[in-house]
Amino acid sequence: MSSKKQLPLILEDGINQEQAAQSVASSKISNGAVPSAIIYCEGHFGKNDGKTANGLVRHSHYYRILSVIDSQCAGLDSGEVLDDQKNGIPVVANINEAMINAKTTPDYFIFGIAPSSGLLSEIEKCIILDAMTKKMHIVNGLHEFLTDSPRFVAASQKSKVTILDVRKPKDKKSLTTFTGKIHDVHCPRIAVMGTDCAIGKRTTATILTDELRKIGVNVVMIATGQTGIIQGAPYSVALDAVPSQYCAGELESVIVKAYQHEKPDIIIIEGQGALSHPAFSTSAFILRGSCPTAVILQHAPKRVYRSDFPNMLMPSIASEINLIETFSKTKVMAITLNHENMSNDDLLSAMAHYAEQFDIPVTDPLSQPKEKLLHIVLSIYPQLSATQVTQE
């Protein structure tokens, strides 16, 4: 039976980020089934601007992904597109094929593109409206909030479906400034930073969280972007949609809340952008708000220019490490690589080179054994191994 009768209708005022995260986290219907979803990613699946779809295909705790819509990759398996390994989630050409593949109406339509503009085209708006007429709830991670549009509010009321604008911030009167309470969080805090946006920081943070959890470590991942919220991270804040005065405080607040409620052994914080990137300021707020005890730095050796900035050269690992360690009282403890446009020999050579140059561990979380990333963290924080023994 459809889950749609179990879900509240989102009306004109919409919901904020915290409520959206709670809605995602409570989206399982009363019989315990995981809601089904299709992801729209036309022309971008497997590419940088398709990072929301890419992330959900690799990891989705609260949605059962049925298919990805991208006519350019139609007929392929989404796992093969991303990681050269089938996962059984097909890529289809359009919404009608997605519904035929599902054999019933999916519960959710997720907009899986993350353009630098943060806005929808008119064609994309029409496709979302079509999904609503087909009785699918909408998950939107862009800066353009559908719940602010009378056109979409009317459509949601007419079709009796919800709209989740996961980036919508709280009212300013409910936002928090930095207090210093982060220093009452007495467990390791690792921030996964990067040399660019769309470079794999969230993927690395997710893999590390999963590997720690597998060995019995009580770990909390803090999501700081829309994809992590949609994936189901219960502790999260979409920082790039929060007024700058409150960014550090909002992140601090959610970390303190996670620490008090979960009593974790370690906290992993998803990074955004790059501290050196002139177009984004979120990395600075992440370092200030989380005061990380250590940093993992993500880098793509073959990426020449910044993503979406074809005239802006990538920084070096050395310059980014220097900037991070100068800006914040922390240390870069490991380097993780994004193997885009690299052969296996290229990757192994780069790993060996960086390990020797910086005298810190280097791995690629996606192509190399995941245990390697885990062992890197356990070597830095051996008390986590002690926690595992205690629990056993």
Per-residue pLDDT at 116: 81
Within the chain, which residue ranges are assigned CATH 3.40.50.300?
174-391
The stretch 146-173 carries a mean pLDDT of 94
The stretch 335-364 carries a mean pLDDT of 97
Mean pLDDT of the chain: 91
pLDDT band with cut points at 50, 70 and 90 for residue 118: confident
Which residue would you say has higher pLDDT here, 33 or 26? 33
The stretch 338-360 carries a mean pLDDT of 97
Q: Which CATH superfamily is domain 4-165 in?
A: NAD(P)-binding Rossmann-like Domain (3.40.50.720)
Per-residue pLDDT at 349: 98
The stretch 344-360 carries a mean pLDDT of 98
Distances (CA, A) of 255 to 79, 140, 146: 32, 24, 28
* Res. 315: pLDDT tops 60: yes
Within the chain, which residue ranges are assigned CATH 3.40.50.720?
4-165
Whether the model clears a pTM of 0.85, i.e. scores above it, the answer is yes
Q: Is 123 left (phi over 0), alpha (psi -120 to 50) or beta?
A: alpha
Distances (CA, A) of 313 to 116, 159, 277, 316: 17, 47, 10, 9
Fold of the 174-391 domain: Rossmann fold (3.40.50)
Phi, psi angle pair for 272, to nearest 5°:
-135, 145
The stretch 281-294 carries a mean pLDDT of 98
Least confident range from 60-64, 151-155, 300-304, 341-345: namely 60-64
The stretch 218-231 carries a mean pLDDT of 96
Per-residue pLDDT at 170: 84
The stretch 350-355 carries a mean pLDDT of 98
Contact residues for 287 (Cβ-Cβ < 8 A; gap 6+) = 191, 193, 275, 324, 327, 328, 330
Q: Is 273 left (phi over 0), alpha (psi -120 to 50) or beta?
A: left
